[in-house]
Structure 1
Amino acid sequence: MLPKEVEGQIGALGIASGFRNLAGLVMDLGGGSTQITWMVSQGGHIRISPMGSFSFPYGAAALSRQLSDLKKGKKKQDGEAAVARFRQEMVENFRDAYNHLQIPDSLIDKAKREGGFRIYLSGGGFRGWGYLLLYLNQSQGKHYPISIINGYTVGREQFEDTDTVKAIAKAAKDVFRVSDRRRSQVPAVAFLVNVLAEAIPHGIREAHFCQGGVREGYLFRTLPPDIREQSPLQVATMNFAPPSFLSIQELIKRAIPKPSKNLTRRFPEEFGEHVIDSFANVIFVHMFMSKETASTTALYSTSVGIMSSTHGVSHQDRARLALMLESRYRGELPPREMEFREALRSLITPEEVWWTTYLGRVGYLITRLYPSGEIDPVKPRVVFSSEWAWNLGKKKKKEGLVLTISIQKKKDDPAELKHALEENVNVIQRVGKKKHWIGKDDPWGMKVKVEVVEEGILEATE
């Protein structure tokens, strides 16, 4: 058996295994105890409190028994008074832990700026709470698209809405992944959530639910930093990577302009490079399917398909990759799948959704150019480059981007590459039409111009 403090440390590492980067408070809720600490995980390097973690006998089962015992044999008023005293004791214990954890000033300052801490939650008690919140977001007309608990995130308002969660636990006939035992512990977990809401200075901004625990933490601890920092999504998709995946990754990235000098135009920072690399890895996976099924299967691939079991992927990254893949197959969906696509789109910003569509269409063009996934590095057929522009449209007044596709100038071109490209560039340019912008009231998008030019491309020497 591990000492409670060590169990808390290793449990925190299990949480770290579920995210590429994280910074915030970390809690684990088991049956007998709960642990709290802080963690910053970035680039494979992990920092936690020098005090380890603080452990309290407030596990879901233990807390249920304690709350019951406090009321047993007492008048209602006396029982409520005993519970109130116990609650205050818990608040003071958590505040004392907070004060002794030596939380970095950077985390505290960020919590002050953003309206609270990000808190990462693991253990069966918290996961049960997460599944109940997921149930709320997948019922009564709501359609949250991903049913994987790791990476599921809710804001303060939902996380602390204990009355609604308790009502659902009591009334709902069946709740996905919530057993009768977990249901019986919901009042105790709700009690703990209310205590945390009061005890943690600056409050809780977001709650992130995690699958990782002591087992994952023990294994994660044995990995060197250079392995820890690898993107799980990128590593998992390498099994499907085409022969020239590095060249394809580079082509896609060259279709994204570098930030403008005044930074008024730039690719969204949240859209990580690892997602683009993963897209290049799986860009051919569904190409052998029929047109009727390819887009749909690609759209579901990160939530119930071939990449759904990949540990350590945020729901936002799952949405980004799925939407790029769906667009890579030109976004052909039957009507019943439109709702699922809209639900995925709701997980990221309209700007990011637009970029998934654009990059997906760039991916489509690449697969048309290189259907085998193999690119001769010595004699590339095309070179991509891109830049921002402020003189597009008929009146030369629209902002957007220009994607230039350079091909080798030849006197004799039996493959008619330039002609073939010109026939396909509209697939990309259509993304820039206003009717394809994302959002209703204030749609996000930009004009896209694709130019195919014949130039002298220097061939590399072997």
Structure 2
Amino acid sequence: MDVSSSACLTAVVDIGSNGIRFTITDLSSSCARLLPVVYSDRASVSLYDAQFSSEDPSRRQPLSQEVQKTVIRHFLRFKRVCSNYGIDNENVRVVATEAVRIAPNSNEFCSGIEAATGWLVRCLTPSQEAYYGATGVASCAAETSGIVIDMGGGSCQISWINCIKGEIDMNEDVYISLPYGAAALTRRLEEVSAGGIEAKQALEAEVAAALSGAYTRLRTSASFVPEKVTAYVCGGGLRGWGYFLMSLDQEYPISLIDGLEVSLEKFEKGDMDCEAEAKSRDIFGLSKRRRKHLNAIAFLVRILSRQFHGTVEKVRFCQVGIREGLLFDGLSPAQRAENPLIVATTPYATKSSPGIAQILFSALPQSTNPRWRVPKVFDKSMATAVANLMYLYIGMVKQYRARTALYSTTEGPLAHARGLSHQQRAVLALVLCERWDGDLLPADKVFMRHLERLVGPEATWWSRYLGRIAKLVGTVCPDGVLENKDGIFPEQPIFTISDVAILPDEVVDDVQLVRLQLEVNHRGDAFDEDSDKAIKKIEAMGKYSNYAPVVEKDQKKKREIKLRFGMRVTVLKMQVPEQDLVLQSKIPEN
């Protein structure tokens, strides 16, 4: 550990209902947007369960001396870690949530920690807990707008957030905290089980009424959008639900919960027989404690789904907590506005990456036809990320490059990067794999097919196309330097791509086919036999065998129709005077 950088380190202790999280985060300006964790530990101490005894489960008990000693022992160990990292007390933040807030001896518990460590314990109010949960969610994507649902152990927070260009827009009047955390709701369900179906229905009516009231309050927010919104879900309870949903698809290729996106229909689909399913097999990411809560989580999910039907379009899972909310809230608007995908890949960029990104993005047509429109994931940040990572594996043995690139976003350098959706990870991996010719072992091809299934046929085809454009750039500029013979960069690069358009092609069986045409403009000495081969590979994307398979369901005949997505590709190679090769020096921001 380089103690000279300790001034940029911040320690956060999050005392939750089901455990205590100890983390150290590097807030150096170059990477602060990602809130990178350099140390993480967790004490499996359930302060919620510790307040109830088996003899009298309906009555809340004070936190015992034994529990307090256990907690302090974990705190003192973390204090030694902070000392080893060179972190002063003023850079340590300790916060407590629901379980501590409502404990009968809350003051005694907090005072004991303060006396042992010298660290002040800040007990968050319900609205503060909801606020930091929402700001934590804002750190999980380049921009966020939607409903935030944070299900911890003791409570469930609901709020609305907009974070556009780094500006957080939240209405403090709609930070709603409800006593329906995973552990709390499990206990309530156990209590009503003796009362039969009527008692359970009464509890369901109670929770539904509370959620309906919360939703009504959300509508009062000035920034509320009435339809087609995203629900961002976090907290241990709903993260566990996300892992359970992933387990239902045995071929799902990404194990990270952060960035998982599902439809509202799929979000509630797991409610069927979830308890029996969880007991029958091991589920990655689902602890024994969380399995006990799964029935209660499904209970809440079922009610949430009914409440948000017709409003919520998709659900995004976020690996965040109070730590992320505290730290993200403390960043400047300029830092919050940074795109996570760009920040995560910038350390691997070459000096010509901005110019290369411009070439890559210029190769994507801007069609207004929804059938042929390039998927939204292929934005300027994706082009920048590809440009930044294009040369990362240039020093590897040739046979390893495609495979390493394929796994780079899930097991490699980006595995720990925050704020990336699963679709972004999959598309970036597919593009980079194709950039290195896509030469894979059979087992790796299986993983690639799973990524392709995740992103869909259109994104699969465009990923391979963009990967072959990147291959052309890498062939012409093998060292990642995009400049002319006099070293002028980047006003006069080696080559550019222009006049990219989707044009009408022939008509087959009364179906109008289309053709993607692009011009590659280059100076006289830039292209050779290898670059010509790279261009032919781009044009080969127009072969039917390279089209991405599409399976559509014929509802009338109740059968599947197998189609393919793709289009013909024509590359016009144009030799132009060197002074006519002009490239923007920096790709525009999203």
Report the TM range for the smaller structure's normalisation: 0.7 to 0.9
Measure the CA separation in 1 of the matches of 2:353 and 2:418.
22
Measure the CA separation in 2 of the matches of 1:30 and 1:264.
42
Matched residue SS, 1:439? strand
After TM superposition, the structure 1 stretch with the greater mean CA deviation from structure 2, 55-64 or 197-206, is 197-206
Matched, 1:430 2:540: yes
Higher strand share: 2
User: Which one-letter code corresponds to 1:81 in the other structure?
Assistant: E
Measure the CA separation in 1 of the matches of 2:221 and 2:146.
10
Matched, 1:80 2:197: yes
User: Which one-letter code corresponds to 1:171 in the other structure?
Assistant: S
- Structure 2 counterpart of 1:454: 575
Measure the CA separation in 1 of the matches of 2:569 and 2:322.
49
After TM superposition, the structure 1 stretch with the greater mean CA deviation from structure 2, 55-64 or 99-108, is 99-108
Query: Does the 8 A contact of 1:94 with 1:200 survive in 2?
Result: no
Matched, 1:128 2:213: no
Distance apart, 1:292 and its partner CA:
2.4
After TM superposition, the structure 1 stretch with the greater mean CA deviation from structure 2, 379-388 or 239-248, is 379-388
Matched, 1:400 2:515: yes
Measure the CA separation in 1 of the matches of 2:196 and 2:337.
51
Deviations 1:17-72 (A, max 9, x none): 1122232211111111111112223222232234131111111111112222233x
- Structure 1 counterpart of 2:381: 274
Matched, 1:59 2:210: no
- When the two structures are superposed, what TM-score results if normalisation uses the length of structure 2? 0.70
Distance apart, 1:243 and its partner CA:
1.7
Measure the CA separation in 1 of the matches of 2:218 and 2:265.
26
Q: Quick one: structure 1 residues 460 and 365, their matched pair in 2 at CA, closer, same or farther if it must change by over 3 Å? A: closer
Query: Does the 8 A contact of 2:127 with 2:172 survive in 1?
Result: no
User: Which one-letter code corresponds to 2:499 in the other structure?
Assistant: S
Distance apart, 1:264 and its partner CA:
7.4
Matched residue SS, 2:227? helix
- Structure 2 counterpart of 1:195: 303
After TM superposition, the structure 1 stretch with the greater mean CA deviation from structure 2, 450-459 or 27-36, is 450-459
- Structure 1 counterpart of 2:109: none
After TM superposition, the structure 1 stretch with the greater mean CA deviation from structure 2, 344-353 or 202-211, is 202-211
Query: Does the 8 A contact of 1:407 with 1:418 survive in 2?
Result: no
1:221 to 329, 339, 344: 329
- Structure 1 counterpart of 2:412: 305
Distance apart, 1:459 and its partner CA:
6.9
Measure the CA separation in 2 of the matches of 1:50 and 1:354.
45
Measure the CA separation in 2 of the matches of 1:342 and 1:264.
23
After TM superposition, the structure 1 stretch with the greater mean CA deviation from structure 2, 188-197 or 233-242, is 188-197
Matched, 1:365 2:468: no
Counterpart mapping for 1:150-161 below 5 A: 150-160=258-268, 161=270
Measure the CA separation in 1 of the matches of 2:267 and 2:166.
29
User: Which one-letter code corresponds to 1:400 in the other structure?
Assistant: R
Measure the CA separation in 1 of the matches of 2:581 and 2:520.
18
- Structure 2 counterpart of 1:257: 365
Distance apart, 1:389 and its partner CA:
5.1
Deviations 1:264-309 (A, max 9, x none): 7543334221111100000011222233221111111111111111
- Structure 2 counterpart of 1:162: 271
Distance apart, 1:234 and its partner CA:
0.9
Aligned residues with identical type, % of pairs: 34
After TM superposition, the structure 1 stretch with the greater mean CA deviation from structure 2, 33-42 or 179-188, is 33-42
Counterpart mapping for 1:86-105 below 5 A: 86-103=203-220
Measure the CA separation in 1 of the matches of 2:276 and 2:262.
18
Measure the CA separation in 2 of the matches of 1:86 and 1:419.
73
Query: Does the 8 A contact of 1:37 with 1:52 survive in 2?
Result: yes
Measure the CA separation in 2 of the matches of 1:64 and 1:6.
24
Measure the CA separation in 1 of the matches of 2:134 and 2:423.
22
Matched, 1:316 2:423: yes
User: Which one-letter code corresponds to 1:408 in the other structure?
Assistant: R
Query: Does the 8 A contact of 1:429 with 1:450 survive in 2?
Result: yes
Distance apart, 1:420 and its partner CA:
4.7
Query: Does the 8 A contact of 1:128 with 1:178 survive in 2?
Result: yes
- When the two structures are superposed, what TM-score results if normalisation uses the length of structure 1? 0.88
Structure 2 unaligned blocks of 5 or more:
1-122, 484-488, 551-561, 583-590
After TM superposition, the structure 1 stretch with the greater mean CA deviation from structure 2, 17-26 or 243-252, is 17-26
Of structures 1 and 2, the one scoring higher in RCO (CA 8 A, sep 6+) is 1
Matched residue SS, 1:346? helix
Query: Does the 8 A contact of 2:391 with 2:480 survive in 1?
Result: yes
Measure the CA separation in 2 of the matches of 1:203 and 1:417.
53
Structure 1 unaligned blocks of 5 or more:
112-116
Q: Quick one: structure 1 residues 11 and 253, their matched pair in 2 at CA, closer, same or farther if it must change by over 3 Å? A: same
Measure the CA separation in 2 of the matches of 1:194 and 1:398.
45
- Structure 2 counterpart of 1:385: 498
Distance apart, 1:400 and its partner CA:
1.6
- Structure 2 counterpart of 1:114: none
- Structure 2 counterpart of 1:177: 285
After TM superposition, the structure 1 stretch with the greater mean CA deviation from structure 2, 203-212 or 269-278, is 203-212
Measure the CA separation in 2 of the matches of 1:302 and 1:29.
28
Query: Does the 8 A contact of 2:496 with 2:581 survive in 1?
Result: no
Measure the CA separation in 1 of the matches of 2:513 and 2:266.
41
Distance apart, 1:398 and its partner CA:
5.6
- Structure 2 counterpart of 1:42: 164
How many pairs align?
A: 439
Query: Does the 8 A contact of 2:499 with 2:519 survive in 1?
Result: yes
Matched residue SS, 2:173? coil
Matched, 1:148 2:265: no
- Structure 2 counterpart of 1:137: 249
Q: Quick one: structure 1 residues 451 and 203, their matched pair in 2 at CA, closer, same or farther if it must change by over 3 Å? A: closer
Measure the CA separation in 2 of the matches of 1:263 and 1:96.
38
User: Which one-letter code corresponds to 1:93 in the other structure?
Assistant: A
User: Which one-letter code corresponds to 2:231 in the other structure?
Assistant: I
After TM superposition, the structure 1 stretch with the greater mean CA deviation from structure 2, 452-461 or 2-11, is 452-461
Distance apart, 1:193 and its partner CA:
1.6
Measure the CA separation in 2 of the matches of 1:20 and 1:65.
38
- Structure 1 counterpart of 2:137: 15
Distance apart, 1:350 and its partner CA:
1.8
Measure the CA separation in 1 of the matches of 2:523 and 2:407.
38
Query: Does the 8 A contact of 2:522 with 2:574 survive in 1?
Result: yes
Distance apart, 1:379 and its partner CA:
4.6
Q: Quick one: structure 1 residues 204 and 381, their matched pair in 2 at CA, closer, same or farther if it must change by over 3 Å? A: closer
